[in-house]
Amino acid sequence: MKYRKLGRTGIEISEISLGTWAFGNKVYGGVDEKDGINTIHAGIDMGVNIFDTAPQYGTPEQDGVAEIVLGKALKGKRDKVHISTKFGRNPTIKNGASQFYKSRVIDSVEESLKRLQTDYIDVLFFHSPFSPEEIDDDVWEGIEQVKRQGKVRFIGHSISMFHQTENMARQWAKEGKIDVIQVVLSLMNKESQELIEELQEYPIGVFGRECLANGFLSGAITKDTNFAAGTLNARYSREDIADRVDQVEAFKFLLRDDVKNMPQAALRWVLDQKGVSTVLSGAKNISELKGAVSASEARSFTESELKLAKQLLKKDFEPA
């Protein structure tokens, strides 16, 4: 495993990080708690030292299921790793309303600390605000309070609805309010690249997420694949699926002696993009995580390979 600085935070993090969404609900098919814990432990053994989670990674009946799993897994190991979590969205909120205001950030941090069985969070992300109108001015007072108390070290913006909210990240970075962003970035969606490069002026740390394009870059999805109801990819039509599968086929020129499959190629490509601090793997088991970690060990792609991959992308495919 290789390591990089997380922007201006100065934290040194592994090139491959582990996201825990699958450990909290069935959006990616579901993971047994014991299997999740074993995967986290294996990740630490492989050199993974940063884990991403959120209160939203739960069920309509329980917030933060993934945080609970991560807290159990990291008991006695907390000093070896970094944790990022989020605030502002909770699955138990029936109407799905966002909660980006002072009292909520304070309460959310306390709830996350309890579930994670820790007394501090390394990076606290705004969880996908959809517009500037969702942000109450007093949220920054709450953030300053939890930082002053030592409960949160750094602040990030996990960006969704990219074109509606990218300017929020620009402004917050310029004002020194955030230290990290989390963005969709993959061979099939490059819309965040300009923002990533701009924010290196400060510099802002970058988590690349959805780097396997919701599984399409796993190489396991075919034009005939049927997705179970309730999973993310169930929303796609047969035409949508075929379009994505054809695009993945075009990228297979990236395979070589040390890049043996599409997941490895996809993650290596993200690591080769300017400004990226870590690739957020959504591995559900030890085997998948080993595959992700192998991308850190592979050689960087050449400039000609990177240029051809860019030319072959027909369009930015919609993220989750």
Q: pLDDT tens digit string along 16-67?
A: 999 999 898 766 667 889 999 999 999 999 999 999 999 999 999 999 999 9
Q: How far, CA to CA in Å, does 292 sit from each of 18, 46, 260, 296?
A: 9, 11, 12, 8
CA 185/CA 266 separation, integer angstroms: 10
Q: How far, CA to CA in Å, does 86 sit from each of 67, 100, 124, 155?
A: 10, 11, 5, 9
- Predicted local confidence at residue 277, as pLDDT: 98
- Sequence-distant (6+) residues with CB within 8 A of 286 are 38, 39, 42
Q: How far, CA to CA in Å, does 131 sit from each of 26, 126, 310?
A: 27, 12, 29
Q: What is the pLDDT of residues 77-131, one digit of tens each?
A: 999 999 999 999 999 998 778 899 999 999 999 999 999 999 999 999 999 999 9
- Predicted local confidence at residue 305, as pLDDT: 96
Q: What is the pLDDT of residues 130-157, one digit of tens each?
A: 999 999 999 999 999 999 999 999 999 9
Residue % of the chain over a pLDDT of 70: 98
Task: Tell me if 5 sits within 8 A of 149, measured CB to CB.
Answer: no
* Dihedral pair phi/psi, residue 211, rounded to 5°: -75, -15
Please state the rounded mean pLDDT for residues 173-188: 97
Report the chain's mean pLDDT, rounded to a whole number.
94
- Predicted local confidence at residue 28, as pLDDT: 62
- Predicted local confidence at residue 229, as pLDDT: 82
The pTM assigned to this predicted structure is: 0.94
- Predicted local confidence at residue 95, as pLDDT: 79
